Structure 1
Amino acid sequence: MTPTDHAAVVALMKTYFEGLHQADSAILRGIFHPQLAYVCATEGDELYLDLETYMARVDGREPPAKRGDARDEAILEIAFGSDRIARVTARMSMMGRDYLDFLTLVRHNGNWRIVTKAFTYLPRKD
């Protein structure tokens, strides 16, 4: 894909990390597709949510930023399948857990949006 597409996905991911750190559903709504599929694949904690249910959970949590959690996040891979679909693998730590996210992005109304968020987590090893 173009350097512009790559830069747009990197910017989206910065917003993603910030929205999660701040537990701010308004920020996250700007990068999620309206038909988001949220999937927790952690054994014993499997979960499947839609956008509204996930945003309600975000709104109900204490922001990691307010808790004083240090930010620890990285984009591990960005892969483009076409000018309409991409995949991002990312990791982050928050709320005492290490997360591995597999995000599928689609171009929606001219902008990249996360349409699936499938992830797993482990207790954080300090």
Structure 2
Amino acid sequence: MTPADHKKVGGLMEAYFEGLHQADSTMLRQVFHPQLAYVCATEGDELYLDLETYMGRVDGREPPARRSDPRQEEILEIAFAGSRLARVSARMTMMGREFHDLLTLVRDGAEWRIVAKVFSYAPRKD
């Protein structure tokens, strides 16, 4: 893929991390595809949501930023599988948990969008 594609996906990920840190569903709607599949794969807490249900949960949580939680995130891998398909592996810490996200992105017109968020978590180890 082109450097421009890497830059766009990097920008999308920055907005994703910031949207989660601020619990800002308006910002997150800009990175998620309207047909988002949200899947928690943590044993004992399996969960399957659509975009609207997930955004309702985001709106109902206290933003980590308001609690002065530091942003701790890392993009582990960005892989392109053609001009319209990409995968991002990322990790982040928030709400007392360590998350590992596997995000599937599709190009929606000129922009990349997250169409599937599959993740697991474990309690943060301090």
Question: 2:104 maps to which residue?
Answer: 104
Written as runs of structure 1 = structure 2, the 5 A alignment for 1:21-100 is 21-100=21-100
Give 1:68 shift. 1.0
Runs of at least 5 residues in structure 1 that lack an aligned partner in the other structure: none
Q: CA separation in 1, counterparts of 2:43 and 2:68?
A: 28
Runs of at least 5 residues in structure 2 that lack an aligned partner in the other structure: none
TM superposition score normalised by structure 1: 0.99
State percent identity of aligned pairs: 72
Q: CA separation in 2, counterparts of 1:118 and 1:101?
A: 6
1:81-102 residue CA offsets vs partner (Å, 9 max, x unmatched): 0010000000000000000000
1:43-76 residue CA offsets vs partner (Å, 9 max, x unmatched): 0000000000000000000000001111110000
How many residue pairs get aligned? The number is 126
SS of residue paired to 2:61? coil
> Is 1:11 matched up with 2:8?
no
Q: CA separation in 1, counterparts of 2:63 and 2:81?
A: 34
SS of residue paired to 2:125? coil
Give 1:42 shift. 0.2
Q: CA separation in 1, counterparts of 2:15 and 2:9?
A: 10
Q: CA separation in 2, counterparts of 1:102 and 1:22?
A: 21
Spell out structure 1 runs of 4+ moving beyond 2 A: none
RMSD: 0.4
Aligned amino acid, residue 40 of structure 1: C
Q: CA separation in 1, counterparts of 2:84 and 2:11?
A: 17
Question: 1:115 maps to which residue?
Answer: 115
